[in-house]
Structure 1
């Protein structure tokens, strides 16, 4: 009944905006409650975003999309919206996500270089942080890191993480995250990876790189999105390509302290992988979405590798004491 009501509301919104007779094509769902549909009529198309409240809010997407466009970046134009109902009509960027382009054999280095150039333009823009967004600060990062003990630990061990272990885990991350307080701030899109990047039109400039899934953006370290791109939970990126792109970023952004930047990069990589490991288990256990389990071995391997960094010693020591089986394959039946 709830879905029937939502479908009727979608149709009414489409009708009000002149798309009532359009052909409707459902697009693949993601890890959120949002759904997308491609609408076609008389040789033109757009995307319908269905972000049902209260689970989703559509205003952040619209505000950040408009801000990104003002910075010279390629976010979808918002053609129409109803904020209270959670509907928006968006510019259709087509189907050429970087993931699909890579699967078709397109040059990996040039696509990733385009994405890094987007970050360089974003991070160097003086107006990047001129919008009202919460900080991606120590408390926010800590809440996310705790997803490892909230979800991954019980799935791996069959019992909840002991309270003493949770508290010492929290303390280890407080120590590890402390250096980030000195980081310069920029707009952090937070899910910057090949699934959320598109080539729009023909070309390899920043203007041809379409951005998706940025509604959870915050203000934080410039290292985060570069790390998210290069330490992808869903796709292997060779160490050689990672290093070449990091060098390109840092060579262009000479105003940064390279050592400080890479320290932040490693800390945030470990934090993100701890978070994502917990999220992928949660998606299966709570939400019945097993598709993400296939990526867990990669995520855990990336987490383990980053924990070898000196700045992650407190967390590495916690793992050695409380979770020495971190590298054991997780068996979690769909």
Structure 2
């Protein structure tokens, strides 16, 4: 493993070379939910974003490949200006600091969301990259098991057993089936208010390196049932219907009716939100990142709301409300 001093040396050598020895300065922007770290680099009147990720922890090739594929599809992404792949360093165009998250409480919220939903057909038709992992039965199941392994077993010390275990296994199969039977498209896979930026009067996307080809409803679910912001009910219904019309007009839904779309949207959301809640626990336990803990219960509330609507999943809502969410709240109280 590379130590911090060595990484700093690599970064300095990289930037000295890029700027031909001229003065620059750096400030930490943020570390995201992965092993990446971001710095804003100032040189003269210009600024850049340096992405720092140790190659023994992060494979940066998917980011590079998908950056090109997204750009070719007409989607605004940060331009890669320089790179040192052996050391996991990339210098990117600086898209500023204005996110969709900064606009979600304003009077133009619906207009902004509709403009972003208009991007979905372009993302859906991004050329498949060789870096994309197959989003198949095994991978979808593995994502659901993040919830079981990290949130239930590791964080809550809770073991599935008896009837709940049987229903959990049946649910996994059901959710996998509902995902794999949908029309396939390229999906950003983390398309939410923190990964969509406003730059030069247009919407841009970041953090697309985990894109795969999978269920057509996935990115719409990510955006409209955001783990970090809950849309008002009326706005949600307007935007869900708009997302259907947008994808239907682009001929990406086949013969799917709006009722079928809502069904697939709901079940895809169940899978995504269970996975996300598990990831938030994993970030604490594996990566010592506690900043996502407050998002666990709101994320699971989406699961509860949806599960209540379907006979096959009402047990899930009852189980989460009566057993799991109280255990989570008890754990969260330790951080207060």
- The alignment's TM-score, normalised by the length of structure 2, stands at 0.88
Q: Name 2:85's counterpart in structure 1.
A: 83
1:19 Cα shift?
6.5
One of 238, 241, 244 as aligned partner of 1:244: 238
Q: In 2 relative to 1, CA 172–47 (structure 1 residues): closer, same or farther, beyond 3 Å?
A: same
Q: In 2 relative to 1, CA 99–320 (structure 1 residues): closer, same or farther, beyond 3 Å?
A: closer
1:147 Cα shift?
1.7
Q: Name 1:45's counterpart in structure 2.
A: 47
Map of 1:195-234 to 2, 5 A cutoff? 195-202=194-201, 208-234=202-228
Looking at structure 2, the residues matched to 227 and 193 of structure 1 have their Cα atoms a distance apart, in angstroms, of 9
Q: In 2 relative to 1, CA 296–322 (structure 1 residues): closer, same or farther, beyond 3 Å?
A: closer
SS at match of 2:142: helix
Looking at structure 2, the residues matched to 226 and 321 of structure 1 have their Cα atoms a distance apart, in angstroms, of 27
Map of 1:314-333 to 2, 5 A cutoff? 315-317=313-315, 324-328=322-326, 329-332=328-331, 333=334
1:90-143 deviation per Cα after TM superposition (whole angstroms, max 9, x unaligned): 11101111113446x4622122112111113333x4xx2432222322221111
Looking at structure 2, the residues matched to 65 and 28 of structure 1 have their Cα atoms a distance apart, in angstroms, of 20
CA contact (8 A) 2:99 2:198 kept: yes
CA contact (8 A) 1:165 1:322 kept: no
CA contact (8 A) 2:305 2:317 kept: no
Q: Name 1:131's counterpart in structure 2.
A: 129
Q: Name 1:297's counterpart in structure 2.
A: 297
1:293 Cα shift?
1.2
SS at match of 1:233: coil
For the pair 1:34 / 2:36, whether they are aligned, the reply is yes
12-21 or 111-120: bigger deviation: 12-21
Gaps of 5+ in 2: none
Q: Name 1:271's counterpart in structure 2.
A: 271
Q: Name 1:5's counterpart in structure 2.
A: 6
1:169 Cα shift?
2.2
- The alignment's TM-score, normalised by the length of structure 1, stands at 0.88
Map of 1:9-20 to 2, 5 A cutoff? 9-18=10-19
Looking at structure 2, the residues matched to 99 and 138 of structure 1 have their Cα atoms a distance apart, in angstroms, of 33
Looking at structure 1, the residues matched to 80 and 227 of structure 2 have their Cα atoms a distance apart, in angstroms, of 29
SS at match of 1:37: strand
283-292 or 233-242: bigger deviation: 283-292
Looking at structure 1, the residues matched to 299 and 58 of structure 2 have their Cα atoms a distance apart, in angstroms, of 26
Which 4+ residue blocks in structure 1 deviate beyond 4 angstroms? 162-168, 318-324
Q: Name 2:285's counterpart in structure 1.
A: 285
CA contact (8 A) 1:81 1:87 kept: yes
For the pair 1:185 / 2:184, whether they are aligned, the reply is yes
1:182-236 deviation per Cα after TM superposition (whole angstroms, max 9, x unaligned): 211111111100101111113xxxxx11111111111101200100001111111
Q: In 2 relative to 1, CA 296–166 (structure 1 residues): closer, same or farther, beyond 3 Å?
A: same
Looking at structure 1, the residues matched to 141 and 61 of structure 2 have their Cα atoms a distance apart, in angstroms, of 26
SS at match of 1:291: coil
CA contact (8 A) 1:36 1:49 kept: yes
Q: Name 1:205's counterpart in structure 2.
A: none
1:74 Cα shift?
0.2
Provide the alpha-carbon RMSD of the alignment: 2.4
Looking at structure 2, the residues matched to 158 and 266 of structure 1 have their Cα atoms a distance apart, in angstroms, of 29
Q: Name 2:73's counterpart in structure 1.
A: 71
